[in-house]
Amino acid sequence: MKQYVIDELRIEDHEKIKTYFDEHFNASKIGGIYWIFIDPEILSEIQILHEACKPFYFAVEIEPDKLSCELLVRTGNRVRCDCVRYATEFQRNWFISLIDAILEKLEVHV
């Protein structure tokens, strides 16, 4: 799995990140996993066409010492579909920039 991983988090960083994610993103039924929905303006052509598969999101796992961000674009409506694929370069950069901005806002220095 391709991922963007931030490791060696301090416990106080973990708590700040978890609180922020609880307030701003959808938590999955699996503890520590959150869904960050992708801006519809940056969907790929196939994702735009797949109305039944929307919304699309990235999955993020928060653990006490790290933040693991999958670079796979997922859909909440299907497990397998042609529109479920790794992020385009633009989507990947958007997602990494979003995570970095959150960490900066929370004053998490890694």
Section 56-61 average pLDDT: 96
Kindly state whether residue 110 falls inside one of the protein's structural domains. Answer: no
**pLDDT, position 79:** 75
Kindly state whether residue 30 falls inside one of the protein's structural domains. Answer: yes
Backbone φ, ψ for residue 41 (5° rounding): -70, -15
CA pseudo-torsion sign 45, 40, 36, 81: negative
Domain span at residue 10 reads 3-105
* pLDDT class of 64 with cuts at 50, 70, 90: very high
Number of domains within the chain: 1
Per DSSP, the three-state class of 92 is helix
pTM of the model: 0.92
Kindly state whether residue 89 falls inside one of the protein's structural domains. Answer: yes
3-56 tens-digit pLDDT: 999 999 999 999 999 999 999 999 988 889 999 999 999 999 999 999 999 999
* pLDDT class of 92 with cuts at 50, 70, 90: very high
d(CA 57, CA 27): 12
Kindly state whether residue 26 falls inside one of the protein's structural domains. Answer: yes
